[in-house]
Amino acid sequence: MKTKQNYPTFIFDLDGVITKTEAYHFQAWKQTASLFDYELTHENNEQLKGVSRVDSLKKILEWSDSEISTEMFERLLKEKNDRYLKALTELSEKDIIEGVYEFILDARNHQHTIALYSSSKNAEFILSKLKIIDLFDVRVDGNDVTQSKPHPEGFEIAAKLANSPPSKCVVFEDSSAGVIAANQIGMTTVGIGNADDLSMASRICKNFIEIALNDFKA
């Protein structure tokens, strides 16, 4: 009989993989960028996916050729997060992306360990709003790491907590930063979304409708 360790651990990103909250991030960051007379584009926003709040603001300051005090930097981080959380007030289980909930349930029923690694410091809040927090055996977020994607620290922590070697982990990501991070330590990567942005992934799918548990047989 196979043991749980014979099955790959599945590690999920949150924004853009489990739920579509990245649009809220975009609008919140766009308002921040406007303070520096800079218009944040969707193309620029792709570079903020999977990146920490601090590093995202640093990028916006670089793009707008702006410098601010440490005090202002911290204030803008808080204001952006407050706008984002306010936008999530009505978030519920209906906002789970099609196919992913069923995939996770099927995986749990077949003894796969289910993990989350999100750069967001609001991951626990979002999972609770979606009413799926108990489906994850391991949860790692922006509060648990010192270096965000594309550094692999968060994936290393998730694999360790799951008692699984990186080579036995499958990562679902919608950001190039996340795919790059997981690839660095030998994890299998499944890019969810635009093939042009995720060309470095082991496999690319538009959504979980294209993914079946049998694709990952040990």
**Burial state string for 131-149 with b = 16 or more CB within 10 A and e = fewer than 16:** ebeebbbbbbbbebbeebb
Q: What are the residue numbers of the active site?
A: 13, 15
Handedness of CA 57, 182, 94, 197 (dihedral sign): positive
What is the separation, in whole angstroms, between the first and last Cα of the chain?
13
Q: How far is CA 77 from the centre of its chain?
A: 19
> What is the enclosing helix (H) or strand (E) of 191?
strand 188-192
Helix 53-63 and helix 70-87, axial crossing angle in degrees, nearest 10: 110
What token pair was written down for 43?
Answer: 């193309």
Could you tell me which of 144, 113, 139, 134 has the C-alpha nearest to residue 218?
113
Residue 81's identity, in one-letter code, is N
Distance CA 116, CA 136 (A): 7
Could you tell me which of 142, 175, 155 has the C-alpha nearest to residue 48?
175
